[in-house]
Each structure stands twice: as C-alpha cells, then as structure tokens.
Amino acid sequence: MIEISDLASDQIKEMIESQATDKMFLRVGVVDGGCSGLSYDLRLDEEQTDDDLFFEMKGFNLLIDSKSVEFLEGLKIGYKVQGMTGGFTMDNPNVKASCGCGASFRTATYRGKAEKC
C-alpha cells in the first residue's frame, strides 16, 4: 500500500515520541484543494475512526482514511535533508499532473475542481 523510507520512519517516530500522549498515529490522506485539485494530508492524530485503515509500520501506527486509498496506492514517503532543514517527500505513481510548487496534484481518477494558484 504505502512504503516509508527508514529516514522518514525515524523522523515520524521522533515526532510521535515528542508528543505528550502515548497513543498517537500518523495519518496519511488527501484533501480537496490546491492548484491541481488534491493535496496531501500528513499529520499526527490521536483519533481512529471506523473509516480508517490501520497499518503497523516501522515502529509506529499508520492510519489512512478509506476515501484516500485510491489516490495513495503505491505512495512512497521519504525524508530529504537540505542544509539545516528537512522535509517529507512524496513519490506517488498515481499522479498525472502537479502544480509548479509541488504542493498539490491530480490523478487520472480525480474528478474534483482545481483551484487557481
């Protein structure tokens, strides 16, 4: 379903461990919005819903809302260090178009409306 690099997993575990709760998930999904129509939703979450798919990953738990699955199949999440900072990268084989800034994307099956940049 989703592949997460070792470096990205280490960063995620560090983020989860810094939280004041012992039950934290990484939530991965997509939301409507952005120049191309969809944007990634990558965040920590304490709540699991009936619509979530649950996966045990490399030392942490992952949630994907069922509506996002078709857009995330085969997604590879990485982490890239650039100078003094770093950030997560998304390599999604479903992406057919993306905006110039790389913050949003479109797939062949997405039928929503794109926003203007």
DSSP notation for 24-72: -EEEEEEEE-SSSSEEEEEEEES---TTEEEEE-SSSEEEEETTTHHHH
* pTM listed for this prediction: 0.86
Task: Check whether 115 has a pLDDT greater than 70.
Answer: no
Least confident range of 28-42, 70-84, 99-113: 99-113
**What span, in angstroms and rounded, lies between the C-alpha atoms of 59 and 12?**
9
pLDDT confidence of residue 111: 67
Query: What percent helix, strand, coil does the chain show, rounded to 5?
Result: 15, 45, 45
What residue numbers bound the domain in which 96 lies?
A: 3-107
Task: Check whether 109 has a pLDDT greater than 90.
Answer: no
Mean pLDDT of the 80-97 span: 89
**Is residue 100 assigned to a domain?**
yes
**What span, in angstroms and rounded, lies between the C-alpha atoms of 51 and 11?**
26
**Is residue 112 assigned to a domain?**
no
CATH of the domain at 56: 2.60.300.12
Predicted confidence band at 113 (pLDDT cuts at 50, 70, 90)? low
Residue 14: how many other CB atoms lie within 10 Å: 9
Domain count, the chain: 1
